[in-house]
Chain A
Amino acid sequence: MAFSELAYKALQDILGSENISNDPAICQAYSRVQWLPSGVLQRERCGLNMRPACVVMPGCTEDVQRILQVANRYKFPFVPRGSGFTFSAFPTQAGTVVIDPKRMDRIIELNEKDMYAVIEPYVSFVGLQAEAMKCGLYTPTPLAGSQVSCLANYAWHGAYGNSWITGIGAQNLLGFELVLPDGEVVRSGSMACPGAGSFWNDGPGPDLRGFLRSGMFGHAGGMGVVTKISCKLWPYAGPAEFPCEGTANMKFSSSLGENWKWFMIKFPFAYPEEEELELRKSAELFYEMGKAEIAEVATHLAQQFLYTYSSVTKQDLFDNMKNNVFPSGFCVVALQGKTSPEQLAYEERVLRDIVKKVGGIFVAEDEPAYQVWIKRAANEWIRFGNAQRLSRSSDCFSIGSSNVDSIDQIVYEILESNRLGRDLLKDEGLGKDFVQPLSINGGWISPQEHGYWCLHTTDVFPEQAVDQCNQAMEIIGRVTKSMFARKSAAAAIHMIGPAYDFFGPMMGDVHLIVKGLKREFDPRNLSNPGYASRPDVVSPEELAKMMGGH
């Protein structure tokens, strides 16, 4: 449906002419997602339909309500977004309005005693982090980088450098305020109760976070617009502020002070020939650390992350690969002395006991791997997640496989996806033009909440060319097909958008439940229609084809 002039005028009356634009030049900046192969292909497929009919900038919740009321009156679709990074933050059909929250950028409250903050959609992690650190607290920092919207990340998906402690985005969200697709506001948690403050999440009664979010992802704006959240902050024993070391200290990242200690641990196995042994030993390390309840960071980084995140320039990245700085994956552990120096010392002794027990070896400080990772990237892993440096190698990347389950199952999934990736490369040449060996040597193990569960992603690094992006999608499709064939837990998390129709029947007809909720709350299908269970981007038939008729 074309976006009507009447609708535009109504929005203009609400927001003021300076906060709305349908100028093609303005709208062009909201039309492109390039870092993902699926984004590239989405662009190819949807073309100019990805350019919104107009962009609106609400300044408060009431503005958002009115925008959505106008949307319902004139029946135009809208897409809410945070910083607009991820592939779901873009229109997929003509006549869509993008809601840019840039004017809603307040940290409304930062409660040092009760360790939470209340924020609006355009507050970035980096701003919140700076304020939190002043109070002896800190936020998790997403791998996408702290320049992204904290609210959007928690409502959508986020994994963090310190997930060993914090869990993922879902675990960091407290209460929220949501403008439903019809323009009504609902608040959850203590935020819903007058005078109760915003410190808590569940209830009253059922926890509406269960409605807002799902699995790895949220509904990508398919159930309305989140206009406020409260979120967790975590005890932090590092510097409140960091000196400006600019001139862009390209080699070393600021120390987190004497209450933090970093370690890298390796295992004496040949890589990639003995990859399985290395991963299983890493798993054993994390299981023991979980039982001992030590550490602030515990993760296994594969070459993919090690090279990209520690790189200073693209040439540096490729030089490091050429020089085999990271001949394998490594486990990275950080200890934080939150209780006392004695606690830090104790945890180090225990870590050494565990490493010895599982047959690990501490990487010496003068080894290239330590110098490059710990000195350059480790502290950034905590402070702000390294930003989009994952793209650095080929200016594009995609998650090739992902899983959430136990540490052992994550190791299993990594091995399967690496094996499959290598087979596809060898037998069919899929990915031959990608950055190798980065694209077949995945192995990010991210244990969560002291190892009670675990997350991984392995990525592929094509260039931003349609044929390579198609190859990337083919690889992803084959991996997904393999997950279902193997009945891997990984299959349970790939539920977003068109995947619902295809996979839903295998999972208790969940697609019908989600579609039912979508119909209930958004009967006109106006709230990000492409991403809440409607197959507008990839049809079930195409998905079936990708899955090889599985």
Chain B
Amino acid sequence: MAIEKIEYDATHCQRCSTCKWSHLWEVKSHRFARNCPSLVYGKFDTYAAQGKNDIVTGLLKGELTWEDSKDRLLEIIYRCPVCAACDVSCKRVMDLDIIGVLDALREEACEKGHGPLPAHREFIQSIMNYDNVWKQPRNRRAGWAKKLDIKDLARAGETADVLYYVGCTYAYKPGMETVPVNTAKLLKAAGIDFGILGAKEICCGGIADNVGDKKSFEEIARKNLDMFKATGAKTIVTNCPGCFMAFSEKYARMLKIDTAALPYTVKHSTQFIAELLQAGKLKFTKPLDMTVTWHDPCHLGRRGEPYRHWEGKRVKFGLTEPPREMNRGVSGIYEAPRAILKAIPGLRLVEMERIKEYSWCCGSGGGAKSAYPDFALATAKERVEEAEATGAGSIVTACPWCESNLSDGIDASGSRLRVEDILDLAVRAL
């Protein structure tokens, strides 16, 4: 059983409820003190990490079976953006692999044939059929790049220092093509030698892994790894935090190596642009008179930490042998986007209460938006309210799923906020 590998973590949950609250250091108000979208929406403790730990314990001990409650179990497992806010909070006091528990439950659901959910299967099937999650023709994947004169690294003989990987959503979703277009502009302006895979680019496969379909994920991942190798690029830059996390964390995990040992370096576009600013290769000269707030995407922040491979066991007192360095949300990408925003003249950045690795999830990750749109919308509306409380006119982020779901949340709330992609702002300031 997939859940056997995290038995210690689940069964040693102290039921202290730390996982249900924003990191205690960082709570700034009663209103915005909660951290778990699943729990806020579902209300019963079961939807929190603590509840999921109890589910695992119940399944392992035979107190609970899939037959008892399959539909509810699937809801508990999948109506969750796997944002890891619970994991960060829990690790303040314990050393349990909470995100591992959530992942293992999904893997277990798939192993048993109960998961993933139909909406997820659609995505995965789309990847298998079309190499993208949107059931769109392959040949339109690089439509955004027409007339932009960008190297096609899928062509034999074509090489570049940097592979710019666009991702399915930025490539295909109407209205979002500005992001790759603007990214390309910024890279060119900085004189970066880069190329794309064009129509040959395929989905990162992250979504399959997110929902527990490890087999499909591995199939997709290995294809990508072969393609990356063929390009010769040492650095992959991507806009989508989901893809970023896939290449950085998930692929390393699959290969059972550290992120640092991967044959490439992967950077999120905000990281890369921030480095270019720092190096003086980019400069913002046009002021933007705006007050904005920054939304930290989960897969860029607390889930964007490099993977550190560990094989070992728990020994006495729950110590690990060999010692295990757990991710605690510390080394996600938080400062790079802020550096970009702060570098834009005239732009005022006001922070929400729940930021950085304590950020409130937009609600769309982990397959939640496709399978539970009401939940995703409610979660987004919570974030919109938090953004409004800052007095900002715009909520800026760097994730297509966040942008999409937050836009939906804004519309549903009747809010006057706008959602902006950070690189769109960056180009306007060039």
The CA of A444 and the CA of B22, in the complex, are separated in Å by 29
- Asked whether A51 lies within 8 Å of B63 as measured between CB atoms, the reply is yes
Q: How far is the CA of A144 from the CA of B54 in the complex (A)?
A: 20
| CB-defined contacts of B119 to chain A, threshold 8 Å | none
Q: Which of A84, A244, A253 contacts B15 (CB 8 A)?
A: A84
- Is B13's CB within 8 Å of the partner chain A? yes
The answer to whether A21 touches B44 (Cβ under 8 A) is: yes
Using Cβ atoms and an 8 Å threshold, which residues of chain B touch A416?
Answer: none
| A213 interface residue (CB < 8 Å to B) | no
CA distance A110 to B96 in the complex (A): 36
A29-B45, A244-B355 as given contacts; A395 in contact with B27, CB under 8 Å: no
Give the nearest-CB partner of B57 in chain A: A32
Q: 8 Å CB contacts to B: which residues of A201-260?
A: 241-242, 244-250, 253-254
Instruction: Find out whether the CB atom of B64 lies under 8 angstroms from the CB atom of A35.
Output: no
Residue A17 CB within 8 A of the other chain? no
Q: Across the interface, which residues of B come within 8 angstroms of A33, CB to CB?
A: 15
The answer to whether the Cβ of A131 comes within 8 Å of any Cβ in the partner chain is yes
Q: How many angstroms from the CA of A380 to the CA of B27 in the assembled complex?
A: 13
Within 8 Å by CB of A35, from B14, B21, B43, lies B14
CB pair A31–B54 under 8 Å, yes or no, is yes
Q: What are the residues of chain A within 8 A of B18 when measuring CB–CB?
A: 145, 147, 387-388
* A262 sits at the interface (CB 8 A): no
The answer on a CB contact under 8 Å between B44 and A26 is yes
Count contacts between A and B, CB distance < 8 Å: 203
A32 vs B10: C-alpha distance when bound (angstroms): 12
User: Is there an interface contact between A389 and B93, defined as CB atoms closer than 8 Å?
Assistant: yes
Could you tell me if A435 and B17 are in contact, using CB atoms closer than 8 angstroms? no
| CB of A85 closer than 8 Å to a CB of B | yes
Proximity bits, A97-118, B CB within 8 Å = 1, else 0: 0001011000100000000000
Residues in B neighbouring A55, C-beta threshold 8 A: 44
* Complex interface bits, B63-83 against A, C-beta within 8 A gives 1, otherwise 0: 110001100110010000000
Tell me whether B46 and A83 are in contact (CB under 8 A): no
Whether B316 pairs with A463 at a CB distance below 8 angstroms is yes
A123 CB contact (under 8 Å) in B11, B29, B30, B55: B30
Residue from A103, A145, A247, A249 within 8 A of B24 (CB atoms): A145
The prevalent SS among residues of B at the interface is: loop
A367-384 contact mask (Cβ, 8 Å, vs B): 1 or 0: 000000000000010011
Question: Does A542 touch B at the CB level, under 8 Å?
Answer: no
Closest A residue to B353 by CB, please name it.
Answer: A244
Which chain B positions have C-beta within 8 A of A435? 317
Q: Is the CB of B33 within 8 A of A394?
A: no
**Residue A25 interfacial (CB < 8 Å):** yes
* A69 sits at the interface (CB 8 A): no
Chain A CB within 10 Å, residue with most, of B15, B29, B73, B355: B15
B77 to chain A, nearest CB (A): 10
Instruction: Check B72 against A26 for contact (C-beta < 8 Å).
Output: yes
Chain B contacts for A315, CB-based, 8 A: 95, 319-320, 323
Q: B30–A247 contact, CB under 8 A?
A: no
A residues less than 8 Å from B156 (CB atoms): none
Contact A248 B328 (CB under 8 A): yes
Q: CB distance A247 to B331 under 8 Å?
A: yes
Tell me the bound Cα distance from A289 to B384 in angstroms: 51
- Asked if B14 contacts A253 (CB within 8 A), the reply is no
The reply to whether A318 and B319 form a contact with Cβ atoms under 8 Å apart is yes
Across the interface, which residues of A come within 8 angstroms of B15, CB to CB? 32-35, 84-85
A248 contacts B357, CB within 8 Å? yes
Question: How far does the alpha carbon of A130 sit from the alpha carbon of B55 in the complex, in Å?
Answer: 32
List residues of chain A with CB within 8 A of the CB of B326: 313
User: Is A124's CB under 8 angstroms from B21's CB?
Assistant: yes
The residues of A that contact B26 with a CB separation of less than 8 Å are: 242, 244, 246
**B29 x A130 contact (CB < 8 A):** yes
Interface size of B by CB at 8 A reads 62
Measured CA separation A348–B227 after assembly (Å): 68
Task: Give chain B nearest CB distance to A132 CB in angstroms.
Answer: 10
Q: How far in angstroms is the closest Cβ of chain B from A24? A: 5
Whole-angstrom distance between the alpha carbons of A103 and B334 in the complex? 33
With A25-B68, A147-B20, A148-B17 already in contact, the answer to whether A246 and B357 are too (CB < 8 A) is yes
A423, CB-defined interface residue at 8 Å: no
Distance (Å) between the CB of A54 and the closest chain B CB? 11
Q: Which residues of B contact A395 (CB under 8 A)?
A: 12, 14, 94, 96, 317-318
Chain B residues contacting A85 (CB-CB under 8 Å) are: 15-17
Number of residues from A at the complex interface, CB < 8 A: 71
- Segment 343-395 of A: residues with Cβ below 8 Å from B: 380, 383-384, 386-389, 391-395
Judge whether A127 and B55 touch: CB under 8 Å.
Answer: no
Please determine whether A23 and B50 come into contact, CB atoms closer than 8 angstroms: no
Interchain CA distance A401-B33 in the complex, whole Å: 34
Question: CA separation between A25 and B69, bound complex, in Å?
Answer: 6
Which residues of chain B are within 8 angstroms of A34 by Cβ–Cβ distance?
11-15
Does A30 sit at the interface, judged by CB under 8 A? Answer: yes
Which of B30, B63, B69 is close to A48, meaning CB atoms less than 8 Å apart?
B63
With A26-B72, A84-B15 already in contact, the answer to whether A248 and B23 are too (CB < 8 A) is yes
How far apart sit A298 and B69, CA to CA, in the bound complex (Å)? 52
Docked complex Cα distance between A235 and B18 (Å): 27
Complex interface: chain A residues within 8 A of B316 (CB): 433, 463
Distance in Å: Cβ of B73 to nearest Cβ of chain A: 5
Tell me the nearest residue of chain B to A89, going by C-beta.
B15
Within 80-132 of B, Cβ neighbours of A (below 8 Å) are at 88, 92-96
Given A55-B44, A147-B24, A242-B26, 14 additional A-B pairs, CB 8 A: A25-B64, A26-B72, A28-B64, A29-B50, A30-B45, A32-B54, A100-B43, A102-B45, A131-B30, A147-B17, A147-B21, A246-B334, A247-B334, A318-B317
- Of all A-B residue pairs in the complex, the 8 with the closest CB atoms, nearest first, are A127-B30, A29-B51, A246-B356, A388-B16, A29-B46, A25-B69, A35-B14, A395-B12
A residues sitting closer than 8 Å to B (CB atoms) are 18-19, 21, 23-26, 28-35, 48, 51, 55, 57, 83-85, 100, 102-103, 107, 123-124, 126-131, 144-148, 241-242, 244-250, 253-254, 313-315, 318, 380, 383-384, 386-389, 391-396, 433, 435, 463-464
Interface residues of B (CB under 8 A from A): 11-18, 20-30, 33, 43-46, 48, 50-51, 54-55, 57-58, 63-64, 68-69, 72-73, 76, 88, 92-96, 316-320, 323, 326, 328-332, 334, 351, 355-358
